[in-house]
Structure 1
Amino acid sequence: MNACIFNFGHCFLPDTSGEALCGNLRLDENEECDPGGAGPHTWDPCCRRNCRLRPGAQCSPMNHACCTSGEIK
């Protein structure tokens, strides 16, 4: 456990680079949504991998608590 924290502890610090990063599950500047990393557990029916909403979607439930099926409720 100590080796893991020593080697990867930086992963738990806030990002201070100021750069937008599509795929971090956080809405950064110029992103409409953010589906997170690639993989079957992060697939978002409302958001494309380029952090843009799919046609017809107003929001992504992965990024907005009040979003249901691509609509803000």
Structure 2
Amino acid sequence: QAIAAAKREKEMFVVGFDAIGDALAAIKAGTMAATIAQQPKEMGRLAVENAVRIVKKQPVKKFTPVPLKLVTKQTM
């Protein structure tokens, strides 16, 4: 709202995190440029995989990256 009130929509854009319903609606409406979507299913899968490795006394990486997804009007 502040960006629109200042008439700076062409200079500034809003990006959020978590791809919640309000963010997706704002992207569709054109008031938000993008949001970053986490992948909870992949996080859970990797957590279980690592837990199984721990139980089997197999090595586990200290850091397990999970890719994020950029959600824009074009990718919806």
Shorter-chain TM-score bucket reads under 0.3
Point out which structure has higher relative CO (alpha carbons under 8 A, 6+ apart).
2
The answer to which structure has the higher strand fraction is 2
Higher helix share: 2
Scaled by the length of structure 1, the TM-score of the pair is: 0.19
